């Protein structure tokens, strides 16, 4: 049982090490890449089943008792995130075999991918806030290199912006950890949760919560802090964009949700109005930015921002239903968003450009109807058309908002949904639907190589998962609401990590 909880970190580490050792043979690296990520999917599903059955799993490194030692704490939310990370990782690995050129692959592309996955899984599993920082750095380091790999001018410019802003956010995170340790004398999240709840000094707690909100907000690209994302996400190869879009901002969202449920629960007087405002502005600015863009990946990049707003909305409302909506939304979003970036890659491969105006008038649809249909599914899911996954995710959030009468934010969420649909139809109309304007266009249009099955397979699988999440929304929503209930049950988390005695000993501080 305890091995299962650390395997999501060990497995990518081993795969990365093997790939580095065999760096001369691209063939072996590819095989290791695909096999290890598929194994990670299996391991993460087993871990999820275990947590689903047995409750929170705690693994103490070196058997030191909490809160002295460092522990991995796997709750439902964490294990769901690991499953999603594994699925995205496997899809990226398979897609990359043909989707990343040989030159980039020979510069240790696959090892970097494994280390990125290791960092992401570690961040989802750890129960120690300083280790969260360390895992963040692990995943950031590999993401920096992945972003800059290939040395094109756009990539380097994007990388400088991305690296600078992420380093600033990390420094801020580290600073907040320093203040946190200075105030409470512990770094174990369960212990911190208990001590913060018991403290009388609300001033420092508010300051700390805002510092964490800014530090994670930069990583999650929430409202005033998102400008680095559309400046960098469209520069690397498509497979890299896809895994970044699917996973990296969601690590920030995960950290916000974790910190604002466990350490600083949402306070209706101060945090909730602030978060609702941030969520509304994030949704609006993101979708308006998307409406103004005419490049495939830049439209999608702005959409990531607006979707982050929905996840924040669920956290801000802070009812069990709303939080379940957030979890459901993340599950839906990671799959759909990574898939849309993969499809942007396919469209670029077919038409030789990802500028929407240049893709038409001879559309992708004319070349490959299958790709167009595969785009249609996640695009409509993102816009929230039933019966796809996005519809249910939005439905839950809106229902939760109506229940506690937050009308304004619901109105914003609905308007943003319509605007999302608008910009998705824009991509559809420009890239996939336009017929040839003149007969000659057909002849002179660039035809690139056909889409290899190894790139189509992950796209089709992710689209199938999107449909399945929509069709089996009931059971999946049950899981999400159980995860949300577990997130709101602070005592349960603390008891699982520190044991019953600690709860009683601290009963009267």
Report the residue number, 77 or 135, with the smaller CB distance to other proteins.
135
Q: Is residue 181 a contact point for other proteins (CB under 8 A)? A: yes
Q: What angle (nearest 5°) sits at the alpha carbon of residue 283, between those of residues 281 and 286? A: 95
178 near other proteins, judged by CB under 8 A? yes
Token pair in block for residue 324: 């379940």
31 binds other proteins (CB under 8 A): no
Residue from 43, 70, 231, 383 touching other proteins (CB under 8 A): that is: 231
Find all residues with CB under 8 Å of 221, minimum gap 6, and list them. 228, 229, 249, 252, 282, 304, 305, 308
Q: Residue 188 — φ and ψ, nearest 5°?
A: -75, 130
Instruction: Report in angstroms how near the CB of residue 163 gets to other proteins at its nearest.
Output: 6
> How many positions of this chain bind other proteins (CB under 8 A)?
41
The answer to the question of residue 145 lying near other proteins (CB under 8 A) is yes
**What minimum distance in Å lies between the beta carbon of 231 and other proteins?**
5
Q: What are phi and psi of 59, to 5 degrees?
A: -115, 125
Bridge-partner residues for 73, per DSSP?
58
Give least dist CB 107 to other proteins, A.
13
Q: Count of alpha carbons within 13 Å of 357, Cβ hemisphere only?
A: 2
In the complex with other proteins, the residue whose CB is nearer, 292 or 437, is: 292
Report d(CA 90, CA 459) in Å as an integer.
11
Helix spans in 67-201 (H): 76-99, 102-106, 109-125, 129-148, 153-184, 189-198
Instruction: Write a three-state SS string for 384-418.
Output: CCCCCHHHHHHHHHHHHHHHCCCHHHHHHHHHHHH
Binding other proteins (rule: CB under 8 A), the pick from 49, 61, 101, 157 is: 157
CB 68, min distance to other proteins, A: 10
Q: Which is nearer to other proteins, 67 or 401 (CB)?
A: 67
Shortest Cβ distance from residue 271 to other proteins (Å)?
24
CB of 280 within 8 A of CB of 309? yes
d(CA 115, CA 118): 5
Shorter beta-carbon distance to other proteins: residue 89 or 150: 150
Cα separation of 14 and 18, whole Å?
6
| 30, 194, 234, 394: residue in contact with other proteins (rule CB under 8 A) | 234
At residue 492's C-alpha, the angle toward residues 489 and 494, to 5°, is 110
**Least gap, CB of 216 to other proteins (angstroms):** 16
Please report whether residue 107 would count as binding other proteins according to CB under 8 A. Answer: no
Query: Is residue 134 a contact residue for other proteins (CB under 8 A)?
Result: yes
The yes or no reply on residue 156 touching other proteins (CB under 8 A) is: yes
The tokens of 125 are what?
Answer: 């599993």
Question: Which is closer to other proteins, CB of 95 or CB of 228?
Answer: 228
Does position 169 bind other proteins by CB under 8 A? no
Is residue 158 a contact residue for other proteins (CB under 8 A)? yes
294's tokens: 């005419």
Q: Is residue 174 a contact residue for other proteins (CB under 8 A)?
A: yes
User: Smallest distance from the beta carbon of 232 to other proteins, in angstroms?
Assistant: 7
**Any long-range contacts for 104-110 (C-beta under 8 Å, 24+ apart)?**
104/149, 104/150, 104/237, 105/26, 105/29, 105/30, 106/23, 106/26, 107/149, 108/19, 108/20, 108/23, 109/146, 109/149, 110/16, 110/19, 110/29, 110/30, 110/32, 110/33
302 or 342, CB closer to other proteins? 302
CB of 403 to other proteins, least distance (A): 41
Does residue number 447 form part of the binding site for other proteins (CB under 8 A)?
Answer: no
Segment interacting with other proteins (CB under 8 A) among 6-14, 239-247, 291-299, 423-431: 291-299
Q: How many CA atoms lie within 13 A of 172 on its CB side?
A: 19
- Whole-angstrom distance, CA of residue 95 vs CA of residue 345: 10
Q: Using alpha carbons, list the distances in angstroms from residue 182 to 68, 186, 409.
A: 16, 8, 37
Closest to other proteins by CB, 154 or 441: 154
First-last CA distance in the chain:
34
Helix (H) or strand (E) holding 386: none
Question: Which is nearer to other proteins, 178 or 435 (by Cβ)?
Answer: 178
Whose tokens are 């990946």? That residue is 297
- Of 129-137, 203-211, 373-381, 418-426, the window that binds other proteins (rule: CB under 8 A) is 129-137
For residue 204, state whether it binds other proteins (rule: CB under 8 A): no
Under the criterion CB under 8 A, does residue 441 sit at the interface with other proteins? Answer: no
Scanning 83-91, 177-185, 276-284, 398-406 for contacts with other proteins by CB under 8 A, the matching segment is: 177-185
Q: State the minimum distance, in angstroms, from the CB of residue 192 to other proteins.
A: 14
Longest CA–CA span in the chain (Å) reads: 83
- When asked if residue 175 is in the footprint of other proteins (CB under 8 A), the reply is yes
Task: Give min distance, CB of 70 to other proteins, in A.
Answer: 11
- The yes or no reply on residue 144 touching other proteins (CB under 8 A) is yes
Evaluate whether 382 touches 307 at the Cβ level (below 8 Å): yes
Shortest spacing between CB 69 and other proteins, in angstroms: 12
Cβ distance to other proteins smaller for residue 295 or 489: 295
Q: Decide: is 182 part of the binding site for other proteins (CB under 8 A).
A: yes
Burial class (CB in 10 A: 0-12, 13-18, 19+), 504: exposed
Q: Is 298 in the site for other proteins (CB under 8 A)?
A: yes
Q: Considering the rule CB under 8 A, would residue 151 count as an interface residue with other proteins? A: yes
Interface residue list for other proteins (CB under 8 A): 130, 133-134, 137, 140-141, 144-145, 148, 151-154, 156-161, 163-164, 167-168, 171-172, 174-175, 177-179, 181-183, 187, 231-232, 234-235, 293, 295, 298
């Amino acid at each position: 049982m305890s091995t299962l909880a650390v395997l999501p970190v060990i497995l990518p580490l081993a795969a990365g090490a093997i790939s580095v050792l065999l760096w001369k043979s691209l063939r072996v690296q590819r095989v290791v890449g695909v096999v290890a990520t598929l194994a990670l999917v299996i391991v993460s599903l087993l871990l999820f089943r275990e947590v689903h059955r047995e409750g929170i799993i705690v693994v103490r490194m070196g058997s030191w008792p909490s809160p002295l030692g460092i522990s991995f704490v796997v709750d439902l939310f964490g294990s769901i995130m690991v499953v999603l990370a594994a699925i995205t990782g496997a899809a990226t690995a398979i897609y990359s075999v043909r989707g990343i050129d040989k030159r980039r692959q020979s510069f240790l592309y696959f090892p970097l991918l494994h280390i990125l996955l290791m960092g992401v899984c570690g961040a989802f599993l750890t129960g120690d806030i300083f280790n969260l920082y360390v895992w963040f750095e692990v995943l950031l380091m590999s993401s920096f290199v992945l972003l800059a790999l290939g040395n094109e001018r756009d990539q380097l410019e994007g990388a400088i912006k991305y690296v600078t802003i992420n380093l600033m956010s990390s420094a801020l995170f580290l600073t907040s950890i320093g203040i946190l340790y200075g105030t409470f004398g512990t770094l174990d999240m369960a212990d911190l949760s208990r001590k913060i709840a018991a403290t009388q000094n609300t001033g420092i707690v508010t300051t700390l919560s805002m510092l964490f909100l800014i530090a994670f907000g930069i990583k999650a690209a929430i409202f005033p802090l998102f400008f680095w994302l559309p400046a960098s996400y469209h520069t690397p190869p498509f497979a890299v964009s896809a895994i970044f879009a699917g996973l990296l901002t969601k690590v920030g969202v995960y950290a916000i949700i974790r910190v604002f449920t466990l350490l600083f629960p949402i306070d209706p007087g101060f945090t909730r109005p602030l978060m609702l405002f941030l969520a509304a502005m994030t949704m609006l600015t993101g979708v308006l930015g998307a409406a103004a863009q005419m490049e495939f990946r830049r439209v999608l990049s702005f959409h990531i921002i607006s979707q982050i707003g929905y996840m924040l909305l669920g956290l801000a409302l802070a009812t069990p239903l709303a939080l379940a909506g957030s979890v459901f939304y993340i599950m839906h979003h990671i799959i759909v968003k990574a898939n849309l970036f993969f499809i942007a890659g396919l469209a670029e491969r077919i038409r030789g450009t990802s500028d929407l105006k240049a893709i038409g008038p001879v559309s992708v649809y004319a070349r490959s109807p299958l790709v167009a249909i595969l785009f249609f599914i996640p695009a409509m899911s993102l816009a929230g058309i039933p019966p796809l996954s996005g519809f249910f995710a939005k439905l839950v959030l809106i229902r939760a908002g109506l229940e506690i009468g937050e009308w304004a934010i619901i109105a914003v969420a609905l308007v943003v949904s319509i605007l999302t649909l608008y910009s998705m139809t824009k991509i559809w109309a420009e890239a996939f639907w336009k017929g040839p304007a003149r007969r000659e266009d057909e002849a002179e249009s660039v035809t690139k190589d056909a889409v290899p099955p190894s790139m189509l397979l992950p796209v089709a699988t992710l689209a199938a998962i999107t449909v399945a999440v929509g069709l089996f929304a009931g059971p999946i929503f049950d899981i999400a609401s159980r995860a949300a209930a577990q997130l709101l049950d602070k005592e349960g988390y603390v008891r699982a990590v520190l044991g019953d005695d600690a709860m009683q000993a601290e009963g009267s501080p």
